[in-house]
Structures are given as structure tokens and as C-alpha cells.
Copies of this chain bind each other. A is one copy, B any other.
Amino acid sequence: MRRLHHLPLSPFSRKVRLVLAEKKIEVELIEEKPWEKRMEFLLLNPAAQVPVLQIDGLTLSDSVAICEYLDEVYPDIALMPRTPEARAEVRRLVHWFDDKFHREVTENLLYERVTKKIKKTGYPDGSRIREGTNAIKYHLDYLDWLLDKRKWLAGDEMTLADFAAAAHLSCLDYIDDVDWTRSEHVKDWYARIKSRPAFRGILADALPGMRPPPHYADLDF
């Protein structure tokens, strides 16, 4: 049985869900609140983080390790390019989103507005929200700059870099924190990736007491 332990608004979980769906690998989704540190979950991943994927008799954790594994073992729909230099560019951009964007934007907006509410650990910190709101502008401008020259983030083909970026942006879009009017290039790219069948599961996510804005699941926004 293939199982993905995840959280609906975890960008790292969403990246793996997108890769699984794009490769048409069906999994059972199991929601896990990693901060509860359940012993059964810690035995799967001592880092106490989602996602954790059980597949092929293995228990895999860390979203980058999982995505690279899936692309190596299920290569029919390839999400990594063929040349080492193109792969380096994909990995640079995946890390850009999972590290820099996560630290400067996702943590400041999503974790302040949503995770604190779910964990009941207080109210959003206005200064962090302002920091995140400011930082996302620069990141959207960087995406605009890339997409002015490229069809997809890392080049001519859709790769893990697009899924890493879309995973973060889709979480922020759920709480209406993305200004899609800032760049036509970015809006067009996101409409393309959001229209893929792989995106359906994510667009159907519904958190109790938190509705996404109407454009969230609208493929034409």
C-alpha cells in the first residue's frame, strides 16, 4: 500500500502530491500534524516533518529526496532534464523556493496566518506579515524575469522547479496572498500549471473554517 503522510497546506507535501499525480502514482493520503510528535510518526521520520512517503517497501522522507527518487524510479514522465547543467539549474530553483522563498515568504505569511491558528499558538504577528508581503513582490519579480526568457522556470520543459514554486504559491493563493496582477508572465505560467490534471487534488483541498478565494480553483482565473 502506498501512503503519503502529509498536511494539506504544507508546500513540501504539495510538491510531492503534484509529482505523484503527474506521474499517475496513486497513494492513500494520511493527514499528519507533525508538531504533535506522535511516536508512530517519529518512527517513520525522526525529523518530525511531512511529507513521508511509503512506497516500494521503503519509507522516504525529505521532499527533495522523495521527488528525486520518484523521478529516478518512475521516469516515464520525466521531471528532471537530461544534462547535468540543466539539472543543476532545476535543483538551484527548487532550493530557491524550499529555502529562500519559504523563509522570506511562506513562513511569514502562511505560518503566521494559518499554522498558528491550527496549532492554537497565538495571533499573526503584523511585522512578519508585512515582511512576507514585501518579500513576495521581489520573488514574483524574479519569476517574471525568468519567465520572460523561458517557457518554464528552468527552461523549455516543465520540471520539479515548476512544481516546487507552484506548491508554495498555491498555499499562499489559498489565503489570497498572491497578487496575480503583478506579472502577466507569472499569471500565465501559473494558469498553465494549475490546469494540469495533477493539480486537481490540491485545488479540491478545503480546510475547515478557511475558505479559499473564488479564483483559487478557477482554471482561467
| Chain A contact residues: helix, strand, loop or mixed | helix
**Is the CB of A62 closer than 8 A to any CB of chain B?**
yes
User: Are B88 and A68 closer than 8 Å at their CB atoms?
Assistant: yes
Number of A positions contacting B (CB below 8 A): 26
**Is the CB of A220 closer than 8 A to any CB of chain B?**
no
- Please, how many angstroms separate the alpha-carbon atoms of A7 and B163 in the complex? 31
Contacts of A88 in B (CB 8 A): 58, 60, 65-66, 68-69
Give the number of times this chain occurs in the complex, counting copies. Answer: 2
Contacts of A100 in B (CB 8 A): 47
Shortest beta-carbon distance, A79 to chain B, in Å?
14
**Is the CB of A208 closer than 8 A to any CB of chain B?**
no
**Is the CB of A142 closer than 8 A to any CB of chain B?**
yes
User: Are A72 and B91 closer than 8 Å at their CB atoms?
Assistant: no
Contacts of A64 in B (CB 8 A): 64, 91, 95
Assuming the contacts A69-B85, A87-B68, A87-B72, asked whether A61 and B142 have C-beta atoms less than 8 A apart, the reply is: no
Contacts of A56 in B (CB 8 A): 85
User: Are B60 and A92 closer than 8 Å at their CB atoms?
Assistant: yes
**Is the CB of A152 closer than 8 A to any CB of chain B?**
no
**Is the CB of A41 closer than 8 A to any CB of chain B?**
no
**Is the CB of A209 closer than 8 A to any CB of chain B?**
no
Contacts of A62 in B (CB 8 A): 91-92, 95-96
- Please, how many angstroms separate the alpha-carbon atoms of A164 and B65 in the complex? 15
* Nearest-neighbor residue (CB-CB) of A100 within chain B: B47
Shortest beta-carbon distance, A36 to chain B, in Å?
18
Contacts of A1 in B (CB 8 A): none
User: Are A73 and B84 closer than 8 Å at their CB atoms?
Assistant: yes
Shortest beta-carbon distance, A2 to chain B, in Å?
15
User: Are B84 and A72 closer than 8 Å at their CB atoms?
Assistant: yes
- Please, how many angstroms separate the alpha-carbon atoms of A95 and B69 in the complex? 14
- Please, how many angstroms separate the alpha-carbon atoms of A87 and B72 in the complex? 10
- Please, how many angstroms separate the alpha-carbon atoms of A14 and B50 in the complex? 28
Chain A interface (Cβ within 8 Å of chain B)? 46-47, 56, 58, 60-62, 64-66, 68-69, 72-73, 84-85, 87-89, 91-92, 95-96, 99-100, 142
